[in-house]
Structure formats: structure tokens, C-alpha cells
């Protein structure tokens, strides 16, 4: 059922509202108008000329001072003779690292960063602030954890010293203190509030979409798109909850890091798998059978890998997950483009736009992890923008698909009602016919009725318009139902002449009768050497 032009025009306000919502969430989480990205090639970051009254600084890259394979207090670190400069995570799996921030004195600043995928004991200006997880000297004694960290600090002589005791046996990267957000208390509080609100909006939308489409599936179980889409939203919900502001960790502080880590990574191939199933059910023929099997098997294998493999290997194999997303998305986009020649329905156009945005966002994400930034300040929140847009656009497409299925179901119900009404009328007509004609003149076999008085044959209420010869032949065969009547006898009784005059006439008459009896449930068989038999179709193999 194609959408009309008027139907498409009614979609524009809805799609525009979705784009506004996604853009709003992106602006919340990116906050690039208030963000200043600063890089440094030394362990000392000079931020004295940066306006942090209304903006906050996001430090990226840079080096740190560190002592490998040792946990040192700030005092011990200051007097250590083993201090090196560079990226500590590249030199050792546990270490003590330090950076210094030069800021205008006499103000209160806020530091905001996350301890991601490793353990960390944090000191600010020599004071111990927090220990995230349990630092260890081996993988057996190391207990990783992840949480957002927020402190208000006062510089000492214009310096904020940040020291980390890190151990990382579970991730390919992490622990470098040269990556944090610093600004006024107001700017950082606003940043945190915007991050939290943006995540809350995404989680709320995904939860609502999952609930609505699961209910739609319960109402129309034949349309499995709603089930796949509900599960797709739940997978995205879990991944959003264990990334970004770590909503799951905030709600359940005791949850194992290994559980949240594997949830984050497994969600990628699981989402690809469910998206393929949803679009395959929504657009029959879109996904070729062999390709569908390959996509499902490939993503299932990646998900199993992320479930069982060591976590360090998983982080190194992250490009595999991104490749699965890009291959799946690229294939689906290609299939939609091929359909452009035949014209795309509204649902096709919606999903094509969403997939193009998703692939673009995933390419940006891959480049980001390769330390190649496209518009660095605007990177934050872009993945959330793409995921939310995909989910909401697919919601619209699935809604239109559901409406189409409901319309088809109603049409089938109407057809069934009309057929039932026709059967009822047939029964009434047959009853009236039987009452009007003496029973001795009627020969009835299921829906087939012969009026021997008038020489008429009816299939339900439809007159078969038999010729006199056809009627006589059919009546004779019905009188001997289930018995083989020789062709010679039939010809002599119907045409009143010897059978050897024209046998083709009998065969052609039988052929016409067969066509007229096709929907009656009865057949006329020619049994070699025996003759013609009139019988029910179900008895065909027993004769």
C-alpha cells in the first residue's frame, strides 16, 4: 500500500519535530558553544589566558609525568628519580601519573572527568579525593570500575596538581590524566546538568518506544517488526545506560564493571542484528536471504566474541564491531538506493535518511578513536544524535507499517465477511430452490445441484449453463457415482448412436464438464480400460 502525496505531507511536521528533538539533545550533550578544546605537548597546561568564567576547558592529548610500575603518594612522587614524560598507559599497566594546570589564582574551579575502564586513586593538590575500583599490581588483584568524577578545587599559587595512581589490565587505553574538563563551578555544573538531561531524554525516548512497540506486537503478532524494534530499542537503552553519564552505574553502584563493559560492546552487533531483522520484516525482499543469513551469523559471532573474549582483546577488536555496523548499514542503504528506480514508499525514504546519518556518525566515531577529529568541539553527543534519530525514524516507519498491516487485516476481515455473506445467500437460495422443485427432480452433491425437470445444473447459486448433452452426460455419471462407466455406453446413451462414429465428441464434452466443475469438489476421471468415473476430489487416489 503506497502512501499518497498528501500522506507524505502530513509526515513533514512529525519528522521535523523529531529532527528538532535530536538536534536539541545533541546541543545539550555537545555544548560546543561553551567548550574550549586545549592541547598541550607538555605535562603543564597553561590555561591562564582562557576565559573560564562562562566557558570550560576540555583538555585533550598531551603528555604526563609518570613513574611506571609504582604507586606513589604526591610527596613520594615529587622526590622520585624515576619520573618519565609521555603517555603512561603506553609504558606500564600500573603507574603514578601527574599533570599540572596553570590557572588564574584566587578562584574556585570545578574538575569533571570520568574514570573509564580502569582503576584510579585520585589526588588533587596533594589531598586524596577518591579511589575508583581497587588498584592492583596484577590482573588478579586489579578490580576495575567506572564512574564520573566531580570536584571543586582551589589552586595553590595558581597551580592545580592532579595525580593519579592507575592500574589498567583490562583495556587497551586509559589512565592518562591529561584528559579532563575544568572551568568555573557554574560552567561545569551546567555541563554536568546538560549531559544528564540529554541522557535522560534519550533513555526516556528509548524506553517509551520499546514499551509502545512491544504492546503493538501483542496486538498484532503477525507483524514481527514491532517485536524486533522493541528489542532494538532495549539494546540501545542498555548501551546508553552504561556509556556517557553511566546511568546504570549511578543507579546500581555495585554492578560489576565486567557486566557493564560487555553490555556496552555486545550492544553494537546485537543492534545490527535486530535492525536487519526489523527492516527485513518491514520491507519484504529488501534483505536478500543469503545476505541476511551472513549478516545475522556475522553479528552473532561478534556478540559471542564480546561475551567470552578477554576485555583487552575486545577493546582491540572494537573496529570489528564498527566494521559490522558500516557493512550492515552500507548494504541496507545500497538496497534502498536500488529500489529508487521503482519508487520508494514513505517508510523506505525515512529509513534511508536515518541509515545515511547513522553511517556518517559511525565513520566519525571510528575516526575519533583513531584520534582524527572532524569539528572536535561538536563531536560530543553526535553518536547519541545518530542513535536517537535512527530509533525515532524507525518508529515512524514501523508505525506506518503497522497501520498498513492493520488496514490489510481489516480488508481481509471484510473479504471474509463478504464470503460468509455469500455462503449464507447460497444456502438460502439453495434452500429456496429445493423447496420450489419436487425432491424427486433434484440430484444434490455438495454445492452441485441438478434439476432434472428443467435440465439445469447449479454450483451454489451459479447456473453452470450446461448444454443438453453436457447435462445428460453429467446426470448419467452422477447416477453411477464412484463407478467406472465405459465410454461406449456413455456415447450411445447420450448421443443415441454407435460409439465408433465420433469418440472425440465424448472427450471434448467431458473436458468442458471438468472445467465447469473445478470449484465443486468433484471430478471426472478417465480410468484406462474401464471408462469415466464421477467422484469427489478427495477419493481421487483411491480409484
Cα–Cα separations (whole angstroms), residue 249 to 114, 241, 266, 409: 12, 8, 17, 45
Angle, CA of 230, 326 and 247, to the nearest 5°: 45
For residues 153 and 185, give the distance between their C-alpha atoms in angstroms, rounded to a whole number. 9
The model carries a pTM of 0.68
What pLDDT sits at residue 235?
Answer: 92
Query: For each of the chain's 543 residues, which pLDDT tens digit applies?
Result: 444 455 556 667 777 888 888 888 877 777 666 778 788 888 898 998 888 877 788 777 668 899 999 999 999 999 999 999 988 888 888 999 999 999 998 889 998 876 656 788 999 999 999 998 888 899 888 888 877 788 899 999 999 999 999 988 888 776 666 678 888 888 888 888 888 888 898 899 899 989 988 998 998 888 888 899 899 999 989 988 888 778 888 888 888 888 888 998 898 889 889 988 988 888 888 888 898 899 899 889 989 988 999 988 888 887 777 787 888 888 888 888 887 777 667 777 777 888 887 777 777 766 665 555 555 444 455 677 777 888 888 788 777 777 777 777 788 888 888 888 877 776 676 666 556 666 777 888 888 888 888 888 888 778 888 999 999 999 999 999 989 999 888 888 888 887 665 678 888 999 999 999 988 889 999 888 889 999 988 887 776
Could you write out the DSSP letters of every residue in 90-118? HH-SEEEEEEEEE--SS--EEEEEEEEEE
What are φ and ψ of residue 130, in 5° steps? -170, 150
What pLDDT sits at residue 371?
Answer: 56
Exposed / middle / buried, residue 426 (Cβ in 10 Å: 0-12, 13-18, 19+): middle
Cα–Cα separations (whole angstroms), residue 156 to 65, 102, 104, 109, 185: 19, 10, 10, 12, 17
Cα–Cα separations (whole angstroms), residue 185 to 29, 150, 181, 443: 18, 10, 11, 98
For residues 379 and 403, give the distance between their C-alpha atoms in angstroms, rounded to a whole number. 37
What pLDDT sits at residue 379?
Answer: 47
Q: How is residue 492 written as a grid cell?
A: 450411445
For residues 47 and 160, give the distance between their C-alpha atoms in angstroms, rounded to a whole number. 11
Amino acid at each position: 500500500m503506497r502512501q499518497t502525496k498528501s500522506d507524505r505531507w502530513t509526515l513533514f511536521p512529525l519528522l521535523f519535530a523529531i529532527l528538532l528533538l535530536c538536534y536539541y539533545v545533541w546541543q545539550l550533550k555537545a555544548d560546543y558553544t561553551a567548550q574550549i578544546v586545549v592541547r598541550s605537548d607538555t605535562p603543564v597546561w597553561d590555561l591562564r589566558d582562557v576565559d573560564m568564567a562562562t566557558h570550560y576547558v576540555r583538555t585533550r592529548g598531551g603528555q604526563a609525568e609518570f613513574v611506571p610500575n609504582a604507586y606513589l603518594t604526591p610527596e613520594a612522587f615529587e622526590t622520585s628519580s624515576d619520573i618519565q614524560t609521555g603517555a603512561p598507559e603506553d609504558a606500564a599497566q600500573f603507574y603514578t601519573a601527574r599533570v599540572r594546570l596553570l590557572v588564574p589564582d584566587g578562584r574556585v574551579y570545578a574538575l569533571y572527568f570520568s574514570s573509564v575502564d580502569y582503576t584510579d586513586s585520585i589526588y588533587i593538590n596533594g589531598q586524596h579525593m577518591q579511589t575508583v575500583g581497587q588498584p592492583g599490581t596484577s590482573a588478579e588483584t586489579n578490580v576495575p570500575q567506572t564512574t564520573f568524577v566531580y570536584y571543586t578545587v582551589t589552586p595553590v599559587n595558581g597551580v592545580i596538581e592532579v595525580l593519579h595512581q592507575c592500574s589498567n589490565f583490562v583495556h587497551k587505553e586509559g589512565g592518562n590524566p591529561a584528559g579532563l574538563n575544568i572551568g568555573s563551578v557554574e560552567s561545569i555544573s551546567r555541563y554536568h546538568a546538560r549531559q544528564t538531561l540529554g541522557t535522560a531524554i534519550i533513555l526516556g525516548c528509548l524506553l517509551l518506544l520499546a514499551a509502545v512497540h512491544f504492546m503493538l506486537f501483542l496486538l498484532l503478532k503477525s507483524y514481527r517488526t514491532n517485536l524486533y524494534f522493541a528489542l532494538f530499542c532495549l539494546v540501545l537503552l542498555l548501551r546508553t545506560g552504561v556509556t556517557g553519564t553511566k546511568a546504570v552505574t549511578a543507579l546500581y553502584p555495585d554492578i560489576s564493571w565486567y557486566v557493564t563493559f560487555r553490555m556496552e560492546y555486545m550492544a553494537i552487533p546485537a543492534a545490527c542484528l535486530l535492525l536487519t531483522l526489523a527492516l527485513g520484516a518491514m520491507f519484504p525482499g529488501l534483505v536478500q536471504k543469503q545476505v541476511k543469513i551472513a549478516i545475522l551469523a556475522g553479528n552473532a559471532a561478534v556478540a559471542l566474541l564480546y561475551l567470552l573474549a578477554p576485555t583487552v582483546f575486545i577493546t582491540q577488536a572494537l573496529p570489528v564491531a564498527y566494521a559490522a555496523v558500516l557493512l550492515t548499514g552500507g548494504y541496507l542503504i545500497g538496497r534502498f538506493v536500488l529500489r529508487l528506480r521503482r519508487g520508494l514508499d514513505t517508510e523506505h525514504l525515512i529509513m534511508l535518511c536515518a541509515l545515511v546519518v547513522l553511517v556518517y556518525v559511525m565513520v566519525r566515531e571510528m575516526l575519533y578513536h583513531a584520534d582524527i577529529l572532524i569539528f572536535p568541539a561538536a563531536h560530543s553527543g553526535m553518536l547519541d544524535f545518530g542513535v536517537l534519530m535512527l530509533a525515532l525514524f524507525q518508529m515512524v516507519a514501523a508505525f506506518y507499517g503497522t497501520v498498513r498491516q492493520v488496514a490489510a487485516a481489516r480488508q481481509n476481515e471484510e473479504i471474509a465477511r463478504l464470503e460468509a455473506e455469500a455462503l449464507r445467500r447460497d444456502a438460502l437460495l439453495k434452500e429456496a430452490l429445493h423447496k420450489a422443485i419436487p425432491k424427486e427432480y433434484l440430484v444434490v452433491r455438495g454445492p452441485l445441484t441438478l434439476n432434472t425437470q428443467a435440465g439445469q445444473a447449479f454450483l451454489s447459486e451459479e447456473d453452470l449453463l450446461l448444454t443438453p448433452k453436457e447435462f445428460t452426460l453429467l446426470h448419467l455419471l452422477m447416477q453411477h457415482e464412484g463407478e467406472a462407466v465405459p465410454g461406449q455406453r456413455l456415447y450411445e446413451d447420450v448421443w443415441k448412436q454407435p460409439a465408433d462414429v465420433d469418440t472425440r465428441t465424448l472427450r471434448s464434452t467431458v473436458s468442458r464438464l471438468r472445467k465447469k466443475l473445478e470449484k465443486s469438489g468433484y471430478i471426472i476421471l478417465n480410468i484406462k480400460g474401464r471408462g469415466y468415473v464421477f467422484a469427489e476430489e478427495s477419493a481421487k487416489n483411491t480409484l
